[in-house]
């Protein structure tokens, strides 16, 4: 590919005879055609590498197609990103690349730091790339930022000339553009990935405080419409003599014990499709039949209550054996209509309202330690499935006397 205008033994054009002019013209035409072919090859490579936003694929295409542009025995690139460099051999024997051997004096470093193309006809023995006598080192640059260099090497002396340098420069321009696009695409994907991770964290946090369908409604509309439920069942629990026993415990052991108990309650109600609403101190509140209505909510809640009762009894026996204070649990259940919705702008709370909620609380506070106390309304819904004991009319604060029942177990 070594070529240069041959003006017939160095004569000026005006001094050439007709035959010499013809020879010169043919020579120039041949060189122009050869250059045109090489430029067309550059364009083909550019088209190929710009079809991809994957850097490895781009470099693979360059390694495969660059042989049509220049003669070389070695082709490599050195890419800079985020203050770190990566040397990648594309064609030829491996080169032992060491960052420490890039000094201020070698051509590699000069191309990298100044953005000036380097045409080397005799390699410096101190250079890491000195096994190749002839070299072309071209900066890869975009928007005045050096992205790296592309490096051609040949063991043949005087292998390259200015025309080869220009052809290599055209390739470097196209490769720089492709690398910039690939880097931008990679950065964009990383950004999307980070956004997706943050969105997942946000969604999981929202699901910790809201039912899934309520969270979806809030995310899609920015608000949650209140919903009337004609039938639902509420369960309350609290620990008898909580304050008195809590004084005997360290703050750490108190919180640890509450967390242990309520975490187990969470597992039970999740098993039966109930919705946890809140804990207040030693009180735990959940509901069946919301936000998705169903016909089994009274049965689901009572079965969950039986499991909570059994768990707390086992916990009590464990504490007694260790001579530790323990809590007896009161459980109250009532069924009826209620309204559900979300309140708050920063700390969302899914909550329920209505007389059903108030009466369920009274049923719990009027209950018996270690027992499951239910209202007349719940009794009517579960009486065919559970053995119950009628307690008679019990005075409930601000609600007068109310029929209450104790769940004794599942009917045989």
Mean pLDDT on 389-405: 92
Given a cut of 70, is residue 249 above it in pLDDT?
yes
Could you tell me the CA-to-CA distances from 123 to 30, 130, 140, 313, 359 in Å, in that order? 31, 5, 21, 87, 93
The per-residue pLDDT of the chain, averaged, comes to: 89
- pLDDT at position 1 is 42
Round to whole Å and give the CA distance between 149 and 76: 8
Could you tell me the CA-to-CA distances from 106 to 73, 76, 123, 128, 146 in Å, in that order? 20, 17, 9, 9, 17
Give 104 or 151, the one with higher predicted confidence. Answer: 151
Range in 29-38, 154-163, 197-206, 244-253 the model is least confident about: 29-38
- pLDDT at position 391 is 95
Mean pLDDT on 262-273: 96
Round to whole Å and give the CA distance between 67 and 50: 18
Mean pLDDT on 58-78: 91
Range in 52-61, 204-213, 313-322 the model is least confident about: 204-213
Percentage, residues of the chain above pLDDT 70: 96
Those residues with Cβ within 8 angstroms of residue 311's Cβ, 6 or more apart along the chain or in another chain: 261, 264, 265, 268
Phi, psi of 72 (to 5 degrees): -160, 155
Round to whole Å and give the CA distance between 295 and 23: 101
Given a cut of 60, is residue 2 above it in pLDDT?
no
Phi, psi of 189 (to 5 degrees): -65, -40
Q: How confident is the model at residue 104 (pLDDT cuts 50, 70, 90)?
A: low
DSSP characters over 147-208: EEEEEEEESSTT---HHHHHHHHHHHHHHHHHHHHHHHHHHHHHHHHHHHHHHHHHHHHHHH
Prior bond to 278 cis, omega within 30?
Answer: no
- pLDDT at position 39 is 80
Given a cut of 60, is residue 4 above it in pLDDT?
no
> For 271-308, how does the pLDDT look when each residue is reduced to its tens digit (9 = 90+)?
999 999 999 999 999 999 999 999 999 999 999 999 99
Round to whole Å and give the CA distance between 212 and 221: 14
Round to whole Å and give the CA distance between 116 and 384: 91
Given a cut of 50, is residue 3 above it in pLDDT?
no
- pLDDT at position 45 is 83
CA nearest 233: which of 354, 344, 330?
354
- pLDDT at position 19 is 80
Strands 227-239, 283-288: pairing is antiparallel
Going across the sheet that includes 74-81, the strands are 84-91, 74-81, 145-154, 134-142, 118-120
- pLDDT at position 152 is 95
Those residues with Cβ within 8 angstroms of residue 345's Cβ, 6 or more apart along the chain or in another chain: none
Round to whole Å and give the CA distance between 134 and 124: 10
DSSP characters over 296-354: -HHHHHHHHHHHHHHHHHHHHHHHHHTT-----EEEEEEEEEEEEEEE-SSS-EEEEES
Query: Hey, which bits of 188-328 come out as E strands?
Result: 227-239, 275-280, 283-288
The DSSP bridge partners found for residue 160 are none
Round to whole Å and give the CA distance between 212 and 204: 10
Range in 120-129, 182-191, 295-304, 349-358 the model is least confident about: 120-129
Structure token digits, residue 201: 């964290």
- pLDDT at position 11 is 65
Tell me the residue length of the chain.
Answer: 412
Q: Kindly report the CA angle at 86 between 83 and 90, in degrees rounded to 5?
A: 150
Those residues with Cβ within 8 angstroms of residue 191's Cβ, 6 or more apart along the chain or in another chain: none
Given a cut of 80, is residue 35 above it in pLDDT?
no
DSSP characters over 19-65: HHHHHHHHHHHHHHHHHHHHHHHHHHHHHHHTT---HHHHHHHHHHH
Round to whole Å and give the CA distance between 401 and 22: 124
Count other C-beta atoms under 10 Å from residue 220's C-beta.
8
- pLDDT at position 8 is 53
Percentage, residues of the chain above pLDDT 90: 60
- pLDDT at position 26 is 84
Count other C-beta atoms under 10 Å from residue 142's C-beta.
17
Those residues with Cβ within 8 angstroms of residue 274's Cβ, 6 or more apart along the chain or in another chain: 235, 286, 287, 288, 297, 300, 301, 304
């Amino acid at each position: 590919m070594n070529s240069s205008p041959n003006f017939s033994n160095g004569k000026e054009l005006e001094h050439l005879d007709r035959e010499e002019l013809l020879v010169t013209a043919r020579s120039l035409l041949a060189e122009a055609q050869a250059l045109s072919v090489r430029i067309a090859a550059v364009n083909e490579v550019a088209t190929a590498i710009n079809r991809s936003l994957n850097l490895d694929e781009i470099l693979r295409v360059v390694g495969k197609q660059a042989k049509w542009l220049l003669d070389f025995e070695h082709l490599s690139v050195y890419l800079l990103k985020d203050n770190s460099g990566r040397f990648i051999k594309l064609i030829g024997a491996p080169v032992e690349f060491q960052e420490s051997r890039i000094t201020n004096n070698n051509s590699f470093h000069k191309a990298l730091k100044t953005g000036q193309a380097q045409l080397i006809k005799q390699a410096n023995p101190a250079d890491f790339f000195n096994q190749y006598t002839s070299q072309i080192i071209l900066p890869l640059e975009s928007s005045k930022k050096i992205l790296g260099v592309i490096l051609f090497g040949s063991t043949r002396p005087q292998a390259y000339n200015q025309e080869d340098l220009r052809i290599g420069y055209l390739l470097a321009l196209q490769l720089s553009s492709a690398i910039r696009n690939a880097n931008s695409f990679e950065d964009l994907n990383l950004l999307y990935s980070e956004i997706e991770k943050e969105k997942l964290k946000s969604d999981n946090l929202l699901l910790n405080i809201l039912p899934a369908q309520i969270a979806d409604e809030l995310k899609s509309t920015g608000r949650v419409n209140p919903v009337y439920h004609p039938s639902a069942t509420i369960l309350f629990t609290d620990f008898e003599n909580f304050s008195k026993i809590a004084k005997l415990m360290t703050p750490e052991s108190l919180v640890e014990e509450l967390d242990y108990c309520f975490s187990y309650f969470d597992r039970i109600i999740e098993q039966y499709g109930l919705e946890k609403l809140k804990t207040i101190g030693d009180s735990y509140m959940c509901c069946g039949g919301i936000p998705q209505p169903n016909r089994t909510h009274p049965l689901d809640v009572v079965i969950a209550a039986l499991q909570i009762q059994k768990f707390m009894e086992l916990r009590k026996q464990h504490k007694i054996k260790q001579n530790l204070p323990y809590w007896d649990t009161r459980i109250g259940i009532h069924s009826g209509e209620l309204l559900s919705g979300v309140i708050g702008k920063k700390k969302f709370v899914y909550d329920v309202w209505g007389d059903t909620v108030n009466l369920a609380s009274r049923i719990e506070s009027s209950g018996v330690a270690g027992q499951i106390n239910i209202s007349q309304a719940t009794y009517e819904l579960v009486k065919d499935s559970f053995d119950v004991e009628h307690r008679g009319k019990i005075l409930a604060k601000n609600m007068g006397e109310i029929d209450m029942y104790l769940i004794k177990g599942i009917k045989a």
